[in-house]
Structure 1
Amino acid sequence: MLLTKHKKNQAAKGGGNRLLISVTVVGSAGPIRFVVNEEELVASVTDTALKSYAREGRLPVLGSNLNDFVLYCPISGTEALSPWDMIGSFGVRNFMLCKKPQKEEKGGGDGKPVAVGITRKSSGSWKAWFNKSLNLKVSSH
């Protein structure tokens, strides 16, 4: 009983609403759910999601550097959320956590600037595959 009074006093002092959010990690089996204050920063939520992911022993192993990840909101389109935005400012509770694309260095160690490019795992896009499959020739008899 004393504990519930203490929690109520902390909530009154905190001033912000608490939200149950769901963070889906790309490549993982299911979302991570946890409670945050609506005034928490996106960077803090990303850090909490990575720690929860590691604590649960989920696969694939991601690491703990929050600078390697971006958080997306379904209503904001394809733009990643700014780490300095408040999580409650979007009006949604479902988010997606993605790893930033890995950069591959090309060039030698001769002191010249190194060109950096983003690597791609597949050799084509799904649009190209779809268009190619539509162009199948049908022979008439």
Structure 2
Amino acid sequence: MSSQKRQKKKNNTDNQTAKNSRFLITITVLGSAGPIRFVVKEDDLVAGVIDTALKSYARGGRLPVLGSDANKFLLYCANAGSDALNPLESIGSRGGRNFVLCKKQTHPTMTEGRPEIIGRKGSGSWKAWLNKSLSFKISSH
């Protein structure tokens, strides 16, 4: 093999290695005792990384139980701004190695929430409603 062919093959191998480079990431799950660490490829999608994190978290028997639906979670770069990563972008696109996994905030709709609260403007206070909602009935023996 000529030196020119060897050099071309080496360049192709280097390019392939650069595309498939792997690195260790750390994901902190809000409410959990410690981070999760695993190796990813630079071009892995954020959605896949969230899925892998949830599976790893469940395998470890960690609490609180999170479930397995990756669509209910957001991944944030710990060192960057406050925007969540797009699930369709590659995990290596931001250059971060430390991430935070959070459950998406859900806002109840009229059918899920308490529709009687809406439209009761002026009647009762939100503090009274909150106290009533959080009150516990303790029975005596």
- TM-score when normalising by structure 2: 0.64
Match of 1:76 in 2: 80
Identity %: 58
Correspondence for 2:66: 62
Residue equivalent to 1:33: 37
Runs of at least 4 residues off by over 3 Å? 12-15
Q: Name which of 52, 55, 61 aligns with 2:56.
A: 52
* Structural mapping, 1:96-115, within 5 Å: 96-106=100-110
SS of structure 2 residue aligned to 1:62: coil
3-state DSSP of counterpart to 1:29 = coil
Residues 4-25 of structure 1: per-residue CA shift (max 9 Å, x gap): xxxxxxxx67941101000000
Classify 1:18/1:107 alpha carbon distance in 2 versus 1 (closer, same or farther; 3 Å).
Answer: closer
Distance 1:33 1:106, change over 3 A: same
Q: Which runs of 5+ in 2 are unaligned?
A: 1-15, 113-117, 119-126, 128-141
Structure of greater Rg: 2
**Inter-partner Cα distance in structure 2 for 1:99 and 1:23:** 13
- Tell me the number of residue pairs that the alignment of Structure 1 and Structure 2 aligns: 100
Letter in 1 for 2:74: V
Query: Any stretches of 5+ residues in structure 1 without a counterpart?
Result: 1-11, 109-114, 116-122, 124-141
In structure 2, give the amino acid aligned to 1:104.
P
CA contact (8 A) 2:19 2:42 kept: no
Instruction: Name the residue aligned to 1:22.
Output: 26
RMSD of equivalent CA atoms: 2.4
